[in-house]
Amino acid sequence: MDEGMTRRQKKHERTRRIMIDAAESEIMEKGFDNVTMDSISARALLSKATLYNYFDSKDMLFMAIRVRAYKQLTKEFQDVLDLELPPIENVKRLGRAFYQFGNKFPLYWQSMRQFREGGLPLSSTGAETIHGVGPIGENNVDEMAGGTERVPREIHEYREAVSDFLQVWVTAVARAITEGSIATDLSPRLVAIILAALTSGAIDQYQRRKGILDSMDVTEAVFMEHVLDILHKGLEHWGE
Span 91-108, pLDDT tens digits = 999 999 999 998 899 999
pLDDT of amino acid 147: 52
CB of 37 closer than 8 Å to CB of 58: yes
Residue 122, pLDDT score: 33
User: What CA–CA distance (Å, rounded) separates 179 from 190?
Assistant: 18
pLDDT of 157 strictly over 70: yes
234 three-class SS: helix
Q: Is the pLDDT of residue 132 over 60?
A: no
Residue 149 confidence class, pLDDT cut points 50, 70, 90: low
- What confidence tens digit (pLDDT) does each residue in 65-85 have? 999 999 999 999 999 999 989
Q: Residue 100: CB partners within 8 Å, gap ≥ 6?
A: none
Contacts of 26 (CB under 8 A, 6+ apart): 35, 39, 40, 43
Q: Which of 59, 36, 57, 52 is nearest to 118 (CA)?
A: 59
User: Rounded to two decimals, what is the model's pTM?
Assistant: 0.82
- Say if residues 166 and 196 touch (Cβ distance below 8 Å): yes
Amino acid identity, residue 168?
V
Flag whether pLDDT at 43 surpasses 50.
yes
Domains and CATH numbers, the chain: 1-54 (1.10.10.60), 57-236 (1.10.357.10)
Q: How confident is the model at residue 121 (pLDDT cuts 50, 70, 90)?
A: very low
